[in-house]
Amino acid sequence: MDDRVIIRFNHVTKQYDDDLPVLDDVSFDIERGKFYTLLGPSGCGKTTILRLIAGFIEPTKGDIYFHGQRINHVPSNKRRVNTVFQDYALFPHLNVFENVAFGLRIKKIPKADIERKVKEALRFVNLEGYEQRAIHEMSGGQRQRVAIARAIVNEPDVLLLDEPLSALDLKLRTEMQYELRELQRRLGITFIFVTHDQEEALAMSDEIFVLNKGKIEQRGTPKDIYDEPVNRFVADFIGESNIIVGTMIDDFVVEFANQQFTCVDYGFSKNEQVDIVIRPEDLELTTAELGKLRVRVDSVLFRGVHYELCCYDAYGNEWLVHSTKKAEIGEEIGLHFEPEAIHVMKRSGGE
Amino acid sequence: MRRYAYAVPYWLWIALFVIAPIILIVYYSFFDIEGRFSLVNYETFFTPVYLRMTVNSFWYAFLITACSLLIAYPTAYLLTKTKHKQLWLLLIILPTWVNLLLKAYAFLGLFGTYGAVNALLEAIGIGTKQLLFTDFSFVFVSVYIFIPFMILPIFNALEKLNHSLIDAARDLGASEWTTFRRVIFPLTLDGVKAGCQAVFIPSLSLFMLTRLIAGNRVITLGTAVEQHFLVTQNWGMGATIAVFLMIAMAGIMAITGNKKWGVRQ
């Protein structure tokens, strides 16, 4: 086994009673020192993966390896993994210091060392001087830092984060994204972060796993996933997209909206039905004569950084355009795009 | 003003059935058996006879509370883990709907010389034992009667406990026992206190069971109050004991008073 692999899932399935499996025959490797994000809609199985790694639940089928050893039945208190919970799960009867010291006290570490390590961990999350505070006196953002300090003070090999930012307001959330990323770099340990927010995933991760219905749809760097989604689900989930059906005429030639366009994709069979993705920000406004596509503006929305235009072509396809230029409703305009902007995907069954 | 109008029945009730009786009891406690005003009842209370009775009452109340707690906590804990919680809970609450006297008489039948329990003891070769009118049967029946009042508050406290706190403790390296000791128990302490109050305070003044089940072998303050009012007709002394019982209860309420952990989020 590769030395850098820290966690390995081997055909893991998790199923409750006779329901559909929440996790369906999933295999992957997690390497040390990287920031991973499990991304997907609610019920896709991302939290299940986290709970399997933490040891709160056991797989129905398949094996989980940690440092090359099978850990299917190892209880969570014997795993070198710590979790930051979605609701933080701080102990309400203990103050900040005792919450952070909880894990160390169980390991029966000398008092002076506990004192030092707790102080250090609190300094790490910028909470010096809050030791004696009660949990209910802390704000949401501070609680979150306490939860992180409580986890990292145990020096785990892997830190699991279960949607830790979802309870924070937008500004604080963006701030914490930076801080978490920074923290991961400084600590150099593996982070596995669960979220349903694609922006969060793109901003923070070394690698993203996009999950849907208990299966991994795609894994890759944020850029891979954004630029080369493998199917309609990923393209749709990872950002606002124009997804339409087209036909691959030949290598580098695709047809959609009753026109043929040059593209950079190849390796499909001739006249294969495909899904075409063009990101709204890759579409440029021009006059109707100059555009590659001719569309009519249906609605215009001011989004601050850009205008969001919803347009329809002559064949009823909807085109979403992000542009700094404004257009009038009902106006006929042209859309220009580069061959690289066309992403061709195999049609996934039924989707 | 309408708001105050709605409160009138409540205050009337409190005045008539709470405040007035307390004042009456305190008032009566200052009269001796001849109807003269005196402090003789209070002097009598501090004689060895009554002090021993007080110690006795506290000792039995403590025994009953401790036994109830020892049985109730694990029961409540298991209850929260079962599938049909509400059904099991109903079965535990059900006996409290039966009158106390009926339950006591039922035990008279069960524990009697020719009762079911002795028949069983006979059958397995231990032989007939004197069960009724012993300390054991008194505590046993009392615990049986009080246990639902201990289980309910503990069950509620366990149900309210956020399950991710248990996960968090396990995640931080705590074994099941440590998790219980350092997280589950401290966080359900309010329920335990409420249960102890609900059991300790009434068992301090138990009187019916002391005669029926313990055959007057156990004489508690409750028995003494009953005897003074109904048999010796010394209302003053009975009232004095009642005053001390009330003080003891207030003291217990103060000790086990709920301290909130602040707002849980």
Contacts of A106 in chain B (CB under 8 A): 172-174, 178
> How high is the pLDDT of residue B265?
33
Q: Is residue A327 part of a domain?
A: yes
Mean pLDDT of all residues in chain A?
90
- C-alpha A164 chain-centroid distance: 13
Q: Is residue A63 part of a domain?
A: yes
Domains held by chain A: number: 2
Asked if A219 contacts A48 with a C-beta cutoff of 8 angstroms, the reply is no
Q: Residues A210, A246: one domain? A: no
> What is the value of pTM for the model shown?
0.81
> How high is the pLDDT of residue B23?
95
Nearest residue on chain B to A156, judged by CA atoms?
Answer: B172
Q: Residues A199, A246: one domain? A: no
| Domain encompassing residue A82 | 5-232
Once rounded to an integer, what is the mean pLDDT over residues A288-315? 89
pLDDT band for position B261 (50/70/90)? very low
Counting one residue from chain A and one from chain B, the pairs whose CB atoms sit within 8 A come to 70
Is the pLDDT at B127 greater than 90? The verdict is no
Contacts of B169 in chain A (CB under 8 A): 91, 102
- C-alpha A17 chain-centroid distance: 29
Q: Is residue A90 part of a domain?
A: yes
Angle at A8 between CA A7 and CA A14, to 5 degrees: 110
Look at the block and give the residue holding tokens 């790694």.
Answer: A53
Between positions 187 and 216 of B, the ones with CB within 8 A of A are 187
How many other C-beta atoms can be found within 10 angstroms of the C-beta atom of residue B128? 13
| Domain encompassing residue B96 | 60-220
**Interchain CB distance below 8 Å, B168 and A89:** yes
Q: Is residue A16 part of a domain?
A: yes
DSSP B184: I
Q: Residues A132, A211: one domain? A: yes
3-class secondary-structure state, position A126: coil
Q: Is residue A94 part of a domain?
A: yes
Q: Is residue A200 part of a domain?
A: yes
Q: What is the pLDDT of residues A236-276, one digit of tens each?
A: 888 878 888 899 988 888 999 888 898 888 888 888 889 88
Q: Which of A99, A114, A117, A136 is the best residue to mutate to test the B interface, defined by the most B CB atoms within 10 Å of its own CB?
A: A136
How many other C-beta atoms can be found within 10 angstroms of the C-beta atom of residue A233? 21
Q: Is residue A351 part of a domain?
A: no
**Interchain CB distance below 8 Å, A150 and B172:** yes
Interface of A with B (CB under 8 A): 54-56, 75-77, 81-83, 85-87, 89-93, 102-103, 106-107, 134-137, 143, 150, 154
Q: Residues A36, A137: one domain? A: yes
Is the pLDDT at B22 greater than 80? The verdict is yes
**Interchain CB distance below 8 Å, A89 and B165:** yes
Q: Residues A249, A212: one domain? A: no
Give the span between the Cα atoms of A340 and A282, in whole angstroms. 9
Q: What is each CA distance from B215 to B58, B61, B186, B210, B253, in whole angstroms?
A: 19, 17, 40, 6, 30
- The alpha-carbon gap from A106 to the nearest alpha carbon of chain B, in Å, equals 6
Give the span between the Cα atoms of A280 and A290, in whole angstroms. 18
Q: What is each CA distance from B109 to A103, A110, B64, B126, in whole angstroms?
A: 55, 61, 22, 19
Q: Is residue B128 part of a domain?
A: yes
CATH number (domain holding residue B72)? 1.10.3720.10
Q: Is residue B235 part of a domain?
A: no
Asked if A67 contacts A31 with a C-beta cutoff of 8 angstroms, the reply is no
- For B111, phi then psi, to 5°, come to -90, -5
Contacts of B167 in chain A (CB under 8 A): 54, 56, 76, 83, 85, 89
Q: What is the pLDDT of residues A333-344, one digit of tens each?
A: 999 999 988 988
* Strands A307-313, A35-39: pairing kind: unpaired
Q: Residues A12, A96: one domain? A: yes
Once rounded to an integer, what is the mean pLDDT over residues B85-111? 89
Q: Is residue B74 part of a domain?
A: yes
Domains held by chain B: number: 1
Q: Is residue B167 part of a domain?
A: yes
Q: Residues A69, A122: one domain? A: yes
Contacts of A143 in chain B (CB under 8 A): 265
Question: Is B95 in the A-facing interface, judged by CB distances under 8 Å?
Answer: no
Q: Please, where are the H alpha helices in chain B?
A: 2-14, 20-28, 40-45, 48-81, 85-93, 100-111, 116-123, 135-160, 163-171, 176-179, 185-187, 189-204, 208-212, 221-230, 235-255
Between positions 227 and 256 of B, the ones with CB within 8 A of A are none
**Interchain CB distance below 8 Å, B175 and A77:** yes
Give the span between the Cα atoms of B241 and B226, in whole angstroms. 10
Q: Is residue A48 part of a domain?
A: yes
Among A232, A254, A280, give the residue marking a domain's end.
Answer: A232
Once rounded to an integer, what is the mean pLDDT over residues B153-176? 94
Give the span between the Cα atoms of A153 and A47, in whole angstroms. 23
Q: What is the pLDDT of residues A12-60, one digit of tens each?
A: 999 988 888 899 999 999 999 999 999 999 889 999 999 999 999 999 9
Q: Is residue B250 part of a domain?
A: no
Q: Residues A55, A193: one domain? A: yes
ipTM over 0.85: no
CATH number (domain holding residue A55)? 3.40.50.300
Q: Is residue B34 part of a domain?
A: no
**Interchain CB distance below 8 Å, A136 and B263:** yes
Nearest residue on chain B to A159, judged by CA atoms?
Answer: B171
Q: Residues A120, A172: one domain? A: yes
Contacts of A83 in chain B (CB under 8 A): 167-168, 171
Q: Residues A265, A177: one domain? A: no
Q: What is each CA distance from A131 to A60, A101, A124, in whole angstroms?
A: 42, 10, 13
Who among B164, B175, B261 is closest to A85 (CB)? Answer: B164
Q: Which of A102, A117, A136 is the best residue to mutate to test the B interface, defined by the most B CB atoms within 10 Å of its own CB?
A: A102
- Higher-pLDDT residue of A206 and B5 is A206
Contacts of B183 in chain A (CB under 8 A): 91
Who among A54, A75, A91 is closest to B165 (CB)? Answer: A91
- The alpha-carbon gap from B181 to the nearest alpha carbon of chain A, in Å, equals 12
User: Listing from the earlier edge strand, what are the strands of the sheet with A23-31?
Assistant: A23-31, A5-14, A61-66, A69-70
Once rounded to an integer, what is the mean pLDDT over residues B199-220? 84
Surface-to-core class of residue A292, CB atoms within 10 Å of its CB (0-12 exposed, 13-18 middle, 19+ buried): middle
Q: Residues A191, A253: one domain? A: no
**Interchain CB distance below 8 Å, A93 and B174:** no
Q: What is the pLDDT of residues B44-78, one digit of tens each?
A: 999 998 999 999 899 999 999 999 999 999 999 99
Tokens of A321: 């355009």
Q: Is residue B192 part of a domain?
A: yes
Q: Residues A191, A62: one domain? A: yes
Question: Is B135 in the A-facing interface, judged by CB distances under 8 Å?
Answer: no
Once rounded to an integer, what is the mean pLDDT over residues A200-229? 92
